[in-house]
Each structure stands twice: as C-alpha cells, then as structure tokens.
Chains A and B, each alone.
Chain A
Amino acid sequence: EADIYQTPRYLVIGTGKKITLECSQTMGHDKMYWYQQDPGMELHLIHYSYGVNSTEKGDLSSESTVSRIRTEHFPLTLESARPSHTSQYLCASSEWVDNEQFFGPGTRLTVL
C-alpha cells in the first residue's frame, strides 16, 4: 500500500492569497510529481523532481512553484491564487522513472 499524503484535502481560499499544498511520502522514493486535474478530465504534469534539489516544470504551464529540500517532502506553492487555479492537485511518487506512480489522495482547491 502506498504511503503518500497530501494536505489539505480541501481548500477554499480568496483571490490573491498565498497557499502551499503539502505532499509527503514515506517510501523513500526519489521521484515525485505534481499533476493538475480539472473535473472529469485528464491529468496534466505541472512539476516533477528526480531527487533532492532537483525540480523541473512539466508539460502544462503553471504559475506554481515547488521545492525539494528533503526526499520525502515536495510542497507546491501558489504565490497569489486566482480563480483559474481552481482544480484538483495530485501528488505522486515512484521508485524509478519507469515504475508505476503512487498517488496521494489529492487536494481540491477552490479559489473564489
């Protein structure tokens, strides 16, 4: 069973606020990922990391930033939330790049 956690599960926030979505895993995986998913739609990769101090942008342009200071922790930050950021954000990790990815429960973000 995958041990990957995301907090908060649900967040409703006003425009202009700074928010950080937390993601942590206890499996010791080097590879971690952030996806954005609108309701009923496919997942889009927005950030990934292949290890500590390594971060890359994914295919989908995003105004968010990430950091990877510790192997187990991969937080995503929005400096100034906007209604267009309303979506579900899914964090995932994998042992190797070609292994299956294990997903967290997701954070449903609503920006008013």
Chain B
Amino acid sequence: AQKITQTQPGMFVQEKEAVTLDCTYDTSDPSYGLFWYKQPSSGEMIFLIYQGSYDQQNATEGRYSLNFQKARKSANLVISASQLGDSAMYFCAMRETSTGNQFYFGTGTSLTVIP
C-alpha cells in the first residue's frame, strides 16, 4: 500500500489566490512526521514545512500552512496569495519511526500559477 498519496497530478491557480494541495498518508505508528517539499524545474528539493504527529496546532511558515487532520490521515498544504514563482512540483513526505525513520514521498503535484 502507498504510504503517501497525492491525488492531484496537476493544479492551476490564479496569481494571488490560495490553493490547497492534497496529501493523505498511511501509517499505524503513533509517532511520525509529515513534510512538504517544493521542486522547481531546476531539480533541487526545497523544504517548506513540517508537522509532527503530536503537534496540536497546524504548522505555518509564511504563506505556507499545513492543514493537519489526524483522524482522516490528511496533511494538505495550503499556499496563500500564490505567486508566479510558486509554479513547481510539490511533494508530500512522511517519516515513519517503525521503518527506521525513513522518508516516503508521494508522486507529487505539479502547480502552475497563472498570471
């Protein structure tokens, strides 16, 4: 079974609008971490935001926020006030304690910001 599922292969958003990128995960570990990375066309992976399984509040980092719904096992990324530079691939990842803290990545969502 897939540990990380991203069901949106591609998304479009108007500049200055907000967009939500979906991510669901599968684990039975009580302790795990959820991450979002951005990958521009240049190929590097840029860390955006982190949510721990025990964190009570949703993580926020500038224009990025993580909508963490533990019971639904979802960790959606919300980007507010989209900018043209936000156009990139976005990957959701999970660190799972029981597998030696390895990272598992989703298949990614390609976001295009339209001027």
Residues of A within 8 A of B (CB): 33, 35, 40-45, 48, 58-59, 88, 90, 92, 97-98, 100-106, 108
Given B44, B95, B106, which contacts A104 in the complex, CB threshold below 8 Å? B44
Chain B residues, CB < 8 A from A101: 35, 47, 103
Count contacts on B: residues with CB < 8 A to the other chain: 24
Majority DSSP secondary structure for residues of B touching A: strand
Bound-complex Cα distance A88 to B39 (A): 13
Instruction: Tell me whether B102 and A59 are in contact (CB under 8 A).
Output: yes
Beyond A40-B89, A42-B107, whether A88 also contacts B43 by CB under 8 A is yes
Instruction: Tell me whether A45 and B103 are in contact (CB under 8 A).
Output: yes
Instruction: Tell me whether B44 and A103 are in contact (CB under 8 A).
Output: yes
Q: Which residue of A lies closest to B107 (CB)?
A: A42
What is the number of contacts between chain A and chain B, taking CB atoms within 8 Å? 53
Chain A residues, CB < 8 A from B37: 103
Q: Looking at B33, B43, B102, B105, which has the most chain A CB atoms within 10 Å of its CB?
A: B43
**Given A40-B108, A42-B91, A42-B107, 7 more pairs with CB closer than 8 A:** A42-B4, A43-B91, A43-B105, A98-B101, A100-B50, A103-B47, A104-B44
The smallest C-beta distance from A54 to any residue of chain B, in angstroms, reads: 12
Chain B residues, CB < 8 A from A106: 43-44
B56 at the interface (CB under 8 A from A): no
Chain B residues, CB < 8 A from A92: 45
Bound-complex Cα distance A25 to B89 (A): 24
B28 at the interface (CB under 8 A from A): no
